[in-house]
Structure 1
Amino acid sequence: MTRLTDRHDALLLDLDGTLYRGPDPVEGAVDVLRDCSSSLWYVTNNASRTPAAVAEHLRDLGFHAPDETVVTSSQAAARLLADLVPAGSTVLIVGTDALAAEVEAAGLRTTRSAEPTPDAVVQGHSPTTAWADIAEATYAVRAGAVWVAANADTSLPTPRGLGPGNGAMVAAVAAATGATPRVAGKPEAPLMTDSLTRSGASSPLVVGDRLDTDIAGANTVGIPSLLVLTGVSTVDDVLWAEPAQRPTHLASSLAVLLEDESASLIAATDRWSVDRDGTVVRLASGSDRAAESGVEPTWADALRSILPAVWAMDGVETIEGVDDAARAVVEEWYGRS
């Protein structure tokens, strides 16, 4: 058996929802990554903390995470700014001091005021961002400043549920100016490109819990991906995912990294089949073949098996099981959505 991790020289790992949820690691994640043969790179859209602070948090949770293995959207945003404006240009910071430090490290000056008009504006998440901060960004963008967003995530996980992310604040400036920023974080290319460059990987695998950032980011730069259903995206999201957000592999947990590639690869099998009745997809099990194999198929097996067929269909709205095994699988899917 060749484990999935053994097929890839680097794992580009998302953090929240993939490795941890709130203050706690995802169950089994620390042990799984300890047994992986790939190099580990921690790739986050969060621009509010320094890479060193992120690495320290990961180490506190039990992960092996040297500072230099953390790649953040603040770093990508700073590099993008350095490509867009001359060295020594002034950049208005809407975000934390950690974001400002990355911009300064890129050879740019920082300010918190739109007077005089800065050369550029960069927005990253900060829980203390207020109307006055959004207003300064608006004044600068309307005056012609180059505008970069660390990421465009409209929401982010908090202990109380999903709260507004950086993208929500970016949307406020967009509404007030009619402008559109360049985005550094996932799913856009800059952060993914930085991750590939720094890892030096020839056969990387993106691992994440969000279709719209992690998986779409992998597809943006043309590398394979594993979606783990431990965070934001649900079974329902995967079933109806648009082409740009479809993963290569899918699993219920990171443990699949230590299994053969076939345990996570999205591909049709003879254990499950689908046909269409109007807007309904009808799922049927190959229960006899499953029984002969001696291996009981799971809801995740069924999902991986039928996704190619479902993704090829237009205009479908729901899935129904036509036998007991299929009905149990569909019930499990919708219980997870």
Structure 2
Amino acid sequence: MPVSELIRRYDQLILDLDGCVWIGDEPTAGAVEAIAALREARKGVAFVTNNPRLPSEDYVAKLWGLGVKASLGDVVTVGAAMQHLLAETRSGRTAFVIGTAALVDHVAAAGLKPLNGTDRASQAEVVVVGGTDRLSYDDLREATLAVRGGADFLATSRDPTYPMPDGMWPGGGALLAAVEVASERQAAIVGKPEPQLLLTALERLGGGDTLVIGDRLDADVAAAGRAGLDA
């Protein structure tokens, strides 16, 4: 697959995963071949995702499973970004997490004590909201009580949906909206459209003209604009 004239202008590319490299467990049409062509043309390639459901290692394994070679250093996840931020600013505090086990692990690795499953959950000092397939009313209640009680309120993204083979599924932003409405507060966002994921990927890639490729104007393109990158 030849590299287009547009791509030749750039030294490196940052690619979104969900909806760009894959949908569900299948690669998007031509994605594997396009990434191989980029590397053959000696273009730097990094991957970013607003999806906190899996640990970084699982995203790397998924890329390999699709035929795309990648290392941990090539993949920047919003879960890892959340861990970095919490470790720098809120280590030692208690937390309540709406999210998968991977996101809970990131919060714990940042030095916070998750109170999920305890009778003190509603007293958490930090509430973190991310995407999950297992959401209960109790989760919404505990998060709402904690946020209304003054907890710091953070979320991985506002993405309302994410693409799957049978259509668009509710994303972390849909879950976040319920907590924001009930608590009458807005969360601070760590993932796209905030620029940090792209800036971290850029730091790993090194200097050079960079193009961001994604599937959401309100997340990928907006984040690129805030990071000062083309998209």
| TM-score, structure 1 normalization | 0.62
Match of 2:79 among 67, 74, 83: 74
What's the offset of the Cα at 1:104?
2.4
Mapping 1:227-242, distance limit 5 Å: none
Partner deviation per Cα, 1:213-243 (whole Å, 9 max, x = no partner): 1111100111111xxxxxxxxxxxxxxxxxx
1:108 matched to which residue of 2? 112
Gap runs ≥5 in structure 1: 226-337
CA–CA distance in structure 2, aligned partners of residues 162 and 73 of structure 1: 20
Match of 1:12 among 11, 14, 35: 14
Instruction: Name the aligned partner's letter for residue 80 of structure 2.
Output: Q
Partner deviation per Cα, 1:220-271 (whole Å, 9 max, x = no partner): 111111xxxxxxxxxxxxxxxxxxxxxxxxxxxxxxxxxxxxxxxxxxxxxx
Q: Does residue 224 of the first structure (1) align with residue 207 of the second (2)?
A: no
CA–CA distance in structure 1, aligned partners of residues 228 and 140 of structure 2: 35
What's the offset of the Cα at 1:114?
6.9
State the secondary structure of the residue aligned to 2:173. Answer: helix
What's the offset of the Cα at 1:23?
2.5
Instruction: Name the aligned partner's letter for residue 76 of structure 2.
Output: V
State the secondary structure of the residue aligned to 1:197. Answer: helix
State the secondary structure of the residue aligned to 1:147. Answer: strand
Match of 1:62 among 67, 81, 101: 67
Mapping 1:80-99, distance limit 5 Å: 80-85=85-90, 87-99=91-103
Which runs of at least 4 in structure 1 moved beyond 3 Å after TM superposition? 1-7
CA–CA distance in structure 1, aligned partners of residues 4 and 170 of structure 2: 41
Query: In terms of mean alpha carbon deviation, does 115-124 or 147-156 score higher?
Result: 115-124
* Contact 2:73–2:204 under 8 Å retained in 1: no
Match of 1:157 among 155, 160, 163: 163
What's the offset of the Cα at 1:192?
2.4
Which structure would you say has the larger Rg? 1
CA–CA distance in structure 2, aligned partners of residues 208 and 42 of structure 1: 10
CA–CA distance in structure 2, aligned partners of residues 30 and 8 of structure 1: 19
| TM-score, structure 2 normalization | 0.89
2:181 matched to which residue of 1? 175
Partner deviation per Cα, 1:19-63 (whole Å, 9 max, x = no partner): 122322122211121121222111000000011101111111111
Match of 1:209 among 215, 223, 229: 215
CA–CA distance in structure 2, aligned partners of residues 30 and 2 of structure 1: 16
2:30 matched to which residue of 1? 28
1:185 matched to which residue of 2? 191
What's the offset of the Cα at 1:4?
3.8
Match of 2:44 among 36, 39, 62: 39
1:313 matched to which residue of 2? none
Q: 1:157 to 1:2 in 2, by over 3 A?
A: closer
Q: Does residue 51 of the first structure (1) align with residue 59 of the second (2)?
A: no
Q: 1:106 to 1:196 in 2, by over 3 A?
A: farther
Gap runs ≥5 in structure 2: none
Match of 2:144 among 128, 138, 147: 138
Instruction: Name the aligned partner's letter for residue 20 of structure 2.
Output: T
Instruction: Name the aligned partner's letter for residue 84 of structure 1.
Output: T
* Contact 1:114–1:137 under 8 Å retained in 2: no
Query: In terms of mean alpha carbon deviation, does 32-41 or 74-83 score higher?
Result: 74-83
Higher RCO (C-alpha 8 Å, min separation 6): 2
Partner deviation per Cα, 1:284-334 (whole Å, 9 max, x = no partner): xxxxxxxxxxxxxxxxxxxxxxxxxxxxxxxxxxxxxxxxxxxxxxxxxxx
Q: 1:7 to 1:111 in 2, by over 3 A?
A: farther
Identical counterparts, % of pairs: 38
Q: Does residue 126 of the first structure (1) align with residue 132 of the second (2)?
A: yes
What's the offset of the Cα at 1:6?
4.0
